[in-house]
Homo-oligomer: A and B are copies of this chain.
Amino acid sequence: MSSSIFNPPSSTTALLLRSRHPVLVGPTSLRFLTVRSSSPSSRVLSVAASATEESAMVIDGKAVAKQIREEIAVEVSKMKEAVGVIPGLAVILVGDRKDSATYVRNKKKACESVGINSLEVNLPEDSTEEEVLNYISGYNDDPAVHGILVQLPLPSHMNEQNVLNAVRIEKDVDGFHPLNIGRLAMRGRDPLFVPCTPKGCIELLHRYDISIKGKRAVVIGRSNIVGMPAALLLQREDATVSVVHSRTSNPEEITRQADIIISAVGQPNMVRKSWIKPGAVIIDVGINPVDDPSSSRGYKLVGDVCYEEAIQVASAITPVPGGVGPMTIAMLLQNTLSSAKRIHGFE
């Protein structure tokens, strides 16, 4: 089935990651797939892959994110010991949207779990833009703050572009500043930060040893926060990239050519079996609530990709939830750590 684009695993030891689905990679009936660690000191996870006909390997974002947080925790404590500095992330939340409050709480918890200091300010809905800018200015100058994150969306009376542009580029851990995006697009230049969600997508491919160079990649969606930077990242790694969007006349036909699909459009189950080349790898960024009477909440979360169909034809796929989602916060922690390292010349 799959003209596998995986590199052969180099190690098959250690922890067995539980996957909710049986795994098939390539033509062999039983093999191990290594989840790589970027830090040579930390252990190498591996997935025991037992064969079941037509069922993709599940890319376990939750497990990878956990591993990355462990690596970050080690680095944070090393840095504290060596130079006496603890990385700090400041989060600015304006208004009382419940979803935003939840995101901010999760970020705070994640910081705590790795030893990063988190500062938080919660401003009332009717704050002025100037008040927000004052807080940003304070954090820009605060040597204990290495990353500044403004939780979006802002109340409608504020100019989002003005607010985001006020964050010092050296502390723009979200990576959304146009100067960062420009550097991401340009060969021979390097951004200070890469936006967290697309960075998490690529990190998953790396950790699963999925080769990108020379592969056909299709990114579905061209948003500033996911699709566009994901396409630039894939191209930086020498993929041949096509971007499919709402004006594309034949998205199915183009997507079917991809070895790697990254979908980020927010359309539940849009990508069907017929869109997927056998053996393709799928990174599903969509997190879409759909009605589900069987759930106590009355809804469930699904991706942009019809999971039940995709696992029959793809060679690997991220689940929703538990795929890209957990990676976003892990990458935010990583950006904050690397900002602190850069500012203090550590490593």
Contact = CB atoms under 8 A, between A and B. Distances in A.
Contacts of A186: 178, 181, 224, 228
Interface in A170-226: 177-189, 213-214, 216, 222-224
B187 A224 contact: yes
A187 B188 CA distance: 23
Contact of A213 (B161, B242, B247): B247
A112 interface: no
A120 to B, nearest CB: 28
B185 A223 contact: no
A187 B224 CA distance: 6
A245 B254 CA distance: 18
Interface stretch (A10-18, A233-241, A294-302): A233-241
Nearest to A215: B249
Interface in A248-273: 248-249, 254
A332 B185 CA distance: 22
A185 B186 CA distance: 11
Given A214-B247, A248-B214, A182 B178 contact: yes
A158 interface: no
Nearest to A179: B179
A244 interface: yes
A248 B242 contact: no
A154 interface: no
Contacts of A224: 186-188
Interface centre among A185, A238, A241, A244 (most CB of B within 10 A): A185
What copy number does this chain have within its complex? 2
Interface residues on A, range: 20 to 34
Contacts of A223: 187
Contacts of A243: 235, 240-241
A184 B179 CA distance: 11
A232 interface: yes
A77 to B, nearest CB: 35
A244 B242 CA distance: 9
A240 B245 contact: yes
B222 A235 contact: yes
Nearest to A218: B242
Nearest to A212: B247
A224 B248 CA distance: 25
Nearest to A242: B242
Contacts of A254: 216, 240
A49 to B, nearest CB: 27
A70 B187 CA distance: 36
Contacts of A188: 161, 224
Given A185-B232, A240-B242, 16 more contacts: A177-B182, A178-B185, A178-B189, A179-B182, A181-B186, A182-B183, A182-B184, A182-B185, A184-B185, A185-B228, A186-B228, A187-B224, A187-B228, A214-B248, A222-B235, A240-B249
28 contacts: A161-B188, A178-B179, A178-B182, A178-B183, A178-B186, A178-B189, A180-B182, A181-B181, A181-B182, A181-B185, A181-B186, A182-B183, A184-B185, A185-B185, A186-B224, A186-B228, A187-B222, A187-B223, A187-B224, A214-B247, A222-B235, A238-B245, A238-B247, A240-B243, A240-B245, A240-B247, A241-B242, A241-B243
